[in-house]
Chains A and B, each alone.
Chain A
Amino acid sequence: MLFYFLKGIINLLPMDINTTYWFFERIKEDNLCMLYSGNFSDEITNKLIELSEYNINNIDALSKMKKKASFLMAECFQNIVRHGEKIKRLHSDGFFLTKNWGGVYYITSGNLIEKNKIKNLQNQLEKVNSLSKEELKMLYREVLENNEISDKGGAGLGLIEMARKSGQKLDYLFENKDDTFSYFYNQIMLKSDVDELNKVVSDFPLTDSISYHKKMVEKNIILIHKGDFSQDSIFPVLKIIEENLQKEFHDSTQKKKIFHILVELLQNISRHCLKMGDKKEGIFLIGNSDSNYIINTGNLIENKNIKKFKKLLNEINSLNRKELKNLYLSKLRDRNLPTNGGAGIGLIDIARRIISPLNYDFHPIDEKKSFFTMNVIA
């Protein structure tokens, strides 16, 4: 009894510093992993596609299939949005994941569906999955001409096209949400060599994606990005957050502040992370708690740099707002400091604007490197 009571309380707690490593451990092998949980406006959808396109383009083996991937993503989003058309709540609660792992690109989407619509959707899914390539083509033409399925949720054409373009059986699951709603999840794999696709034994079942989504809902996490942190991939991430902020806040000072903190933290990863090959890799999470935003970052760091870095973080955390301002101004005026980061000026400026100290942790990986994570509430 007490256990369940405590578990209930713990589940209500927002994202903390340990959340970063929970996700990092699960997705560390991925070249790229982006998860989004929240509302799906057209703007956010476009940015998510833009981000994924950029990422696909960066993977040599996949750049040829950028068009196909974009099409499939757009189709996933349309499923999310179309199903949510009439009921506002459906719009506000969707899930999207893209992931590149072991030469395979995954696209997962999840959206709420009214329970009484499940049967119809399931019938369509089973029908699509039972057909051969030729039969799918025929069904597609038939539906185009008759327009019949549209009044039953509009999934028809989209599902057929997804099955045709991806060259696979549709992988889907329904998960109970509450009395009225369930989540409809759907996952697609892409590989440059389509024939090889059927031989791939996926080590990433749809249930894994669903467990990530559950964690995101439980911890109120909006977006997670693991992968390259160069400017080109940071930008769409920032835009997605900006769109999301636009909806949450009317106070533009708060919006600006969060944007500023994000820029500084993400550029810090890009400047200071331990490069893996030529990639600037890290993970970043953003979530909500009441009227605040919580931002977590994580990246690998060389053990020999930890001591110096800890000293800087502790110094910043020991100062009050006024002292922080003075330190900031003195660093601004110190012309001997490097102008391109490394002076801690970004971190000092962040510390002036957050409601908690800079929470941080170093998690040892081996004798050379550690996983550094930071958690700020703004």
Chain B
Amino acid sequence: MLQTFESTETRDKPYIIFDPQNNRFEIKGNSLPEDTTLFYKPVIEWIIEYAKNPNQTTHLICSLEYFNSSSAKMLYELFIELEKIKDLGKEVKVTWYFDPDDHLIEEKGMEFQSILQIPFQLKEKNN
């Protein structure tokens, strides 16, 4: 089985954990790296590798505080790779958390929801 992918959270990079063994897939925190492509390249590559032998169910939790527009493009790339897993007949879904008074993150979630072909659920965080 593929090794767990984990990245440390910094002030401009999110915490990411993709752990197929425990079926835990999560992105949280802030995403506004200076070089977005550089940061997300290994993330996307990991997903592509994972898609060769995915779990029966892949449930990605996104709970981002803030992300910039170039991160939005990379997140889209990531969701597209997830779509491909769904096309293999496996179950894939995304839950997108937002603070009840954070309309920006809510709206960004709705936008992704409107252009993606995977179950994409928006959920308020309960603090």
> Residues of A at under 8 Å CB distance from B?
230-231, 235, 251-253, 256-257, 259-260, 263-264, 267, 270, 325, 328-329, 332-333, 335, 337, 339-341, 343, 345-346, 349
Contacts and interface: CB of A to CB of B under 8 A. Distances in A.
Given A253-B103, A332-B72, A339 B34 contact: no
Interface in B38-69: 40, 66, 68-69
B70 A345 contact: yes
Contacts of A339: 36-37, 40, 70, 73-74, 77
Given A263-B32, A267-B68, A339-B37, A252 B114 contact: no
A335 B37 CA distance: 13
B77 A335 contact: yes
Given A267-B68, A339-B36, A345 B104 contact: no
28 contacts: A231-B34, A235-B11, A252-B101, A253-B102, A253-B103, A256-B66, A256-B103, A257-B104, A260-B66, A263-B32, A263-B66, A263-B68, A264-B69, A267-B34, A267-B68, A270-B34, A329-B111, A329-B115, A332-B76, A332-B115, A333-B115, A339-B37, A339-B73, A339-B77, A340-B35, A340-B70, A345-B69, A345-B70
Given A235-B11, A339-B73, A332 B36 contact: no
B91 interface: no
Nearest to B40: A339
A325 B115 CA distance: 12
A340 B37 CA distance: 6
A246 to B, nearest CB: 14
Nearest to B69: A346
B99 interface: yes
A332 B34 contact: no
A256 B73 contact: no
Interface in B87-127: 99, 101-105, 111, 114-115
B9 interface: no
B6 interface: no
Contacts of B70: 267, 339-341, 345-346
Given A332-B115, A340-B35, A340-B37, A349 B69 contact: yes
| A256, A259, A325 — most chain B CB neighbours (10 Å) | A256
A253 B73 CA distance: 22
B70 to A, nearest CB: 6
